[in-house]
Amino acid sequence: MARCGWVGHDPIYITYHDEEWGVPESDARALFEKLALEGFQAGLSWITILRKRETFRHAFAGFDPEVLAGWGEAEVTRLLADPGIVRHRGKIEATLGNARAWCAIEAREGFSTFLWERVGGTPIRNGWRSDDEVPAETPLSRAISKDLRAEGFRFVGPTIVYAFMQAVGMVNDHVVSCPRHADLSAPD
């Protein structure tokens, strides 16, 4: 299998690439989790986050935004002491604030709808021939980043948002030689 070049040989990366990355996700809680983890990844390698993902899920109550929205300084202090996660006060506080912003969007229109309407409800199917062609951000990721910030989100810059869009299948950025590109480009 000629996977995308970024995958390498780590079994965690291979499984993530083959089963999860680029698969359209519409569950609002799962979207929140993936956006939060992308924020924690900033400045680190994605494999670091994948290796800590289960610990993150446990520490952050399954990334249930309705629970996290009620957390405060006591939970921040507890999380800062947890060696199983990325202990960065700004990222932890942003995740809790983002949970509150998520709740407002979810109540108003649904977080999934808020995101997916920006791609017309279906993934953008790119046709990159090499990993070098894949952008780090796009005009659309810049626009979504701006929209999220206007709603009160933090750690959602255009590069983080584009990585999120790739992860949740809003864009199919598997290179065309990767079998997953064809799998995820099949008609709905």
Q: Which residues are catalytic?
A: 16, 38, 46
78 CB-side CA count, 13 A: 10
Confirm if 62 and 53 have CB atoms less than 8 A apart.
Answer: no
The answer to whether the CB of 17 falls within 8 A of the CB of 4 is yes
Angle at 156 between CA 162 and CA 78, to 5 degrees: 125
Can you give the C-alpha Rg of the chain in angstroms? Answer: 16
Residue 66 CB-half CA count within 13 A: 5
The answer to whether residues 41 and 48 touch, using CB atoms and an 8 Å cutoff, is: yes
